[in-house]
Structure 1
Amino acid sequence: MVIKRFITVVSLLTTVSALTGCAGEKSSPIAQQDNTPLTVTIATPQIGEAPKKGSEVEQAIEKYTNSKIDMQWIPSAAFEDKKNIMIASNEMPKAFKITSNATTLSAIQSGLFWEIGPLLKDYKNLSGVNALYYENLKVDGKLYSLPLYRDIGRAGITYRKDWFDELGLKTPVALDDWYNLMKTIAEKDPDKNGQNDSYGIFLDKSYNDPVASSSFLTRLAVSQGAPNKWGIEGGKVTAEFMTKPYFESMKLLRRLYQEKLINQDFSVVQTADADNKWNAGKVGIRVNTVASAAATSQDNLKKAVPNGVVDIAPYMGPSGNRVPAEPGNNGFFVFPKSSVKSEAELKRLLGFFDKLLEPEMSTLLTRGIEGKHFTKTADGKAEFKDLTQFNLEVKPYRDSLPSFEVTGTGLPLKLSDLQAKGWKVIADNLKNVVPNVALTMNSKMYSEKGGELDTLIRDAQTKFIMGKIDEAGWQAEVDKWRKAGGDKVIEEYTAEYAKQKK
């Protein structure tokens, strides 16, 4: 399940006092018996300077949602321990924002939290988002949590358009296209400095991250028809690296390495070092980023290459646009039965969250207050006045409460052409994302030996690409993985898959 997969900060949201429906004509029709303000205590990790109590942003949330908010900012380093203590003592807040790990999974499976899936249909905003956000959070086929939404299909090809135009290149589709592109950029000296120091791509050691759907090898293989981490073949759950499209993608990297068309130190390079190569104007395609950051890649490049031109394109393959679905959240809210005493009380809490996705709240959480944090342009869009002030006064709330930064219902943000193009890639990707079928499944073997199994296969991939083992050697490593517990993981995931399909 997704809870095994997320590594992020932990925060919690508590609701106390008598809970009532949110007032105002746009409120959910549920639980509007009276107008008593909803008291909401929120504890969240403190990163940087905490907003002051009773800030303008806080007051605006309170006024719109008819609530009383008490924000408690806790150093993030202490947050996980505090969460575990609260779960162990069964003394939890009414709405608890947590993240992914074994403690959380165990708590959910033990029945400590309310199931909310059947209730969401009654909330226009919560039920209006893409269903995959909730599918990615299910435990044993049921939904117990609301996500802190993040975009699901973020992959994109950020590339040097000036190089591509000069060399007559197009964004790649087939693996042969990737090879020809890498070879041309490496050999044709696109920066015209007379040195053999240009790369089509510059890999870092996260290229084959076993968990992150954003890893380059997974993005490349999925575009060619592979599953996203785990897929279905012949009625059984199978690992991505056991499929032909994934192996063919590895063979491409092996060939590029042998011909010195990619950096030879990829297995030890840090992401920051790969970023620096791009920023210095030495790379044709930036692989360790997201489509929405294309404009940032342009800004970073211009410091070293003022005339450099950046563009963004979707990942394409033999079947068209095909990208791995990412988890789609940065933590999630659960509702403890020990503190939320009835379904009626639970519905009131859901009503509060539903209000946060309405246009007024979406604008507040992602743009701030008009006149202070942003101004409205002639064509009705938001333009930030001072990002430093926004980051101090608004961002902490945006990062701790549900919102969609660009794709939500709030005031549209004034974007450059490249920014808008990047966000369009993300929006279009959502129609073509490939889910990880095992994302919400449980495997006792993976829980016990997942780290060991992942390391075994990651090392084998790197050895194969670097030519230290051949195809027979690679297959021997896969067999070793299977015997070390991989076959059991497949068996357990397949049993879970069959159970969920009933």
Structure 2
Amino acid sequence: MKRKRFIIVMVSLLTIAGGLSGCAGGKDTPTAKQEGNTPLEVTIATPQVGEAPKKDSEVELAIEKYTNSKIDIQWIPSAAFEDKKNIMIASSEMPKAFKITSNATTLSAVQSGLFWEIGPMLTDYKNLSAVNALYYENIKVDGKLYGLPLYRDFGRAGIVYRKDWFDELGLKPPVTLDDWYNIMKTIAEKNPEKNGQNDTYGMFLDKSYNDPVASSSFLTRLAVSQGAPNKWGVEDGTMVAEFMTKPYLDSMKLLRRLFQENLINQDFSVVQTADADNKWNAGKVGIRINTVASAAATSQVNLNKAVPDGVVDIVPYMGPSGNRVPAEPGNNGFFVFPKSSVKSEAELKQLLGFFDKLLDPEMSTLLTRGVEGKHFNKTSDGKAQFIDLSLFNLEVKPYRDSLPAFEVTGTGLPLELSDLQAKGWRVVADNLENAVPNLALTLNSKTYLEKGGELDTLIRDAQTKFIMGKIDEAGWQAEVDNWKKAGGGKVIEEYSAEYAKQKK
């Protein structure tokens, strides 16, 4: 485990160096082989981030001009994306670049041969080949690479909180589960808004709280801080799912108690992430749990629109053993290239050339800083300083979050960081040393491939029923046993066998 953590730390450091040197090479990308000067048609489908940008926005036109392309982005509301994705895959009516995430459905689609393998081609692209290999290793299927990741840091978890409320109420950031309970109870009952109404929450949960795949899900972050594995761990040579461990059950018991005492929102199982964001933005929430450490400054900006004097701070997740966070896979999904819409290897190479150019310094600056004079100004020491972060979030962030880019460690103009921004990024950097890997991230399980969606739904529903008090602890254990009988036990066997092979 320590060796794996060391690898993650070194990979992140090498990524910075690799990113900075990525554009120094002299390779000619296959984009240059386009016939004449005809713009490359690039159709993209991706989940919507915030408000969908208008067609032919300033950012989009700048991308098209630099890459000699014509872009058509289909922004699909996040809540509807999985259903839409499955329909598109089933009908083979897919865009040329299709953003997907790792789950049983997409794994099955990849293994069925619907998408191009791109791994052997990346050496032809100066930027894509300079990215550290672990970003690609983490999304390989059966040892082969089919996608380009939306690169993300490995240790992004952090507790963004209302420092003004905490100071006023005599609270400190949580370490133990008892701390979490006391914070939730105090904020819910002490009316830190001073409006005489019982309308504040310690935290506002949404239905992604127990996402079975994402290491960024709140229940995984909380349980890992208390000693649980990150999705999958190993005990005595056998793989064990996070929800089979005591720290995870204890974390669920905390949420159950909070629900029973009406200290968290009672509709958490159906709330969308956007609705939870709105509660924070309205100044109704003490701890923002569905965000990342590096976004602390954005949380401050969003809060101050409704609460001008609200103060935000950021600390790492802590537990009885200190800082302990789930290592994330290094991506927020990845782009695959369907054979049904990308008709030839030559066209595929042109598309890879398009994505390679997005990592050039000019495009990296555009995607992560915006347009000079509108979204940022250049400081005397050659850094970018945001003019209006709200305007950036509206006009640029959807592209930054939906296309490959390195926000701070890329080749673009370095950012002049505020104190809160710098603190957020320090949390991200410090997390790396204590990031707990998901030991099953690249393991194969035939049973999970066939039944993963059903198994994930079974256990997610059981978790929600337990938290809402519809089943007791014995009922929860019965649901875990049902999960094992439905195929979970076989998944454990197959993962354990794969893990043993890797260790040899």
With structure 1 as the length reference, what TM-score do the two structures score? 0.76
Compare the two structures and name the one with the higher helix fraction.
2
Query: Per the alignment, do residues 108 and 274 of structure 1 end up closer, same or farther by CA in structure 2, a change over 3 Å counting?
Result: closer
Where does residue 43 of structure 1 map in the other structure?
43
Secondary structure in structure 2 of the residue aligned to 1:283: coil
From 42, 47, 62, the equivalent of 1:57 is 62
Unaligned residue ranges in structure 2 (runs of 5+): 1-21, 47-51
Aligned length: 464
Where does residue 283 of structure 1 map in the other structure?
285
Shift of 1:265: 4.2
Q: What is the correspondence of 1:411-422 to structure 2 with a 5 Å cutoff?
A: 411-422=413-424
Query: Per the alignment, do residues 56 and 441 of structure 1 end up closer, same or farther by CA in structure 2, a change over 3 Å counting?
Result: same
Q: Hey, what's the Cα distance between the residues in 2 that align with 1:394 and 1:201? A: 28
Q: Verify the 8 A CA contact 1:28 1:355 in the aligned structure 2.
A: no
Cα RMSD over matched residues? 4.2
Deviation digits for residues 175-205 of structure 1 (CA, Å, limit 9, x no counterpart):
2322333333344443344555543223233
Deviation digits for residues 423-453 of structure 1 (CA, Å, limit 9, x no counterpart):
3323433443333333334434334433332
Query: Per the alignment, do residues 44 and 183 of structure 1 end up closer, same or farther by CA in structure 2, a change over 3 Å counting?
Result: closer
Q: Hey, what's the Cα distance between the residues in 1 that align with 2:445 and 2:306? A: 48
Q: Hey, what's the Cα distance between the residues in 1 that align with 2:113 and 2:396? A: 36
Unaligned residue ranges in structure 1 (runs of 5+): 1-24, 63-67
Where does residue 14 of structure 1 map in the other structure?
none
Where does residue 190 of structure 1 map in the other structure?
192
Where does residue 476 of structure 2 map in the other structure?
474
Q: Verify the 8 A CA contact 1:215 1:288 in the aligned structure 2.
A: yes
Partner letter of residue 432 of structure 1?
A: N
Shift of 1:221: 0.4
Where does residue 99 of structure 1 map in the other structure?
100
Q: Verify the 8 A CA contact 1:99 1:331 in the aligned structure 2.
A: yes
From 25, 28, 32, the equivalent of 1:28 is 25
Where does residue 116 of structure 2 map in the other structure?
113
Q: What is the correspondence of 1:4-403 to structure 2 with a 5 Å cutoff?
A: 28-30=25-27, 40-45=40-45, 48-51=53-56, 57-58=62-63, 61-62=66-67, 68-72=68-72, 96-100=97-101, 102=105, 105-107=108-110, 110=113, 113-114=116-117, 116=119, 125-193=127-195, 196-327=198-329, 328-333=331-336, 339-340=344-345, 353-354=355-356, 356-371=358-373, 374-384=376-386, 398=400, 401-403=403-405
Partner letter of residue 116 of structure 2?
A: F
| Greater Cα offset, 214-223 or 289-298 | 289-298
Query: Per the alignment, do residues 494 and 399 of structure 1 end up closer, same or farther by CA in structure 2, a change over 3 Å counting?
Result: same
Q: Verify the 8 A CA contact 1:51 1:392 in the aligned structure 2.
A: no
Q: Verify the 8 A CA contact 2:59 2:371 in the aligned structure 1.
A: no
Q: Verify the 8 A CA contact 1:141 1:500 in the aligned structure 2.
A: no
Q: Hey, what's the Cα distance between the residues in 2 that align with 1:86 and 1:220? A: 39
| Greater Cα offset, 351-360 or 306-315 | 351-360
Q: Hey, what's the Cα distance between the residues in 2 that align with 1:132 and 1:222? A: 22
Query: Per the alignment, do residues 426 and 187 of structure 1 end up closer, same or farther by CA in structure 2, a change over 3 Å counting?
Result: same
Shift of 1:241: 0.3
Shift of 1:242: 0.3
Partner letter of residue 249 of structure 1?
A: S
Query: Per the alignment, do residues 170 and 356 of structure 1 end up closer, same or farther by CA in structure 2, a change over 3 Å counting?
Result: same
Percent identity over the alignment is: 69
Greater RCO (CA < 8 Å, at least 6 residues apart)? 2
Secondary structure in structure 2 of the residue aligned to 1:362: helix
